[in-house]
Amino acid sequence: MKTGFALAIAALFCAPLAGSAAATDATLDPDGLILSAEGRDLSEFQWLKRPVVVFANSPADPRYVEQMQLINERLDVLADRDVVVITDTDPGARSAIRQKLRARDFMIVLISKEGTVVLRKPFPWDVRELSRSIDKLPLRQQEIRDRRDVLRR
């Protein structure tokens, strides 16, 4: 009985948020940094972008809702680091990205521009922590040095 009540309360609090997270592709992201995994392959981003893939079994998953809120609050930081956020909330669709990364339940995956998996987390991660992980990558370090050199000229 207590578990059912707790679930009902959680659903009430997450319902308004879930709708906004599901609408992220069109309304909250005018720059196109957040994409659906449907019909996409990770190879299209190699050497161009750093994919951050967010998996969930439903767009109403509280962890997914929280992760997308964290991402939407700091899209500018991610854009500065050439990040594209790919969402997959339909395990039944068996997207190519879901199959390649063998996702189950909620998971966030950071992939380098080279195409290698940098980290996997089974819980929401703050953009600050994501950006720190990205800034430690060798290619990102080179990008920072190149940007400094251009500014010095």
pLDDT band, residue 151 (cuts 50/70/90): confident
Structure-token match 């339909």, residue found: 90
* Residue 29, pLDDT score: 62
Write the pLDDT tens digit of every residue in 57-81.
999 999 999 999 999 999 999 999 9
Cβ atoms 35, 86 nearer than 8 A: yes
Number of alpha carbons in the 13 Å side-chain half-sphere of residue 141: 4
* Residue 46, domain extent: 2-152
CATH assignment of the domain containing 121 = 3.40.30.10
Q: pTM score, two decimals?
A: 0.79
Say if residue 18's pLDDT is above 90.
Answer: no
Write the pLDDT tens digit of every residue in 68-117.
999 999 999 999 999 999 999 999 999 999 999 999 899 999 999 999 99
* Residue 115, pLDDT score: 97
* Residue 10, pLDDT score: 43
Count of domains in the chain?
Answer: 1
Q: With left for phi above 0 and alpha for psi between -120 and 50, is residue 103 left, alpha or beta?
A: beta
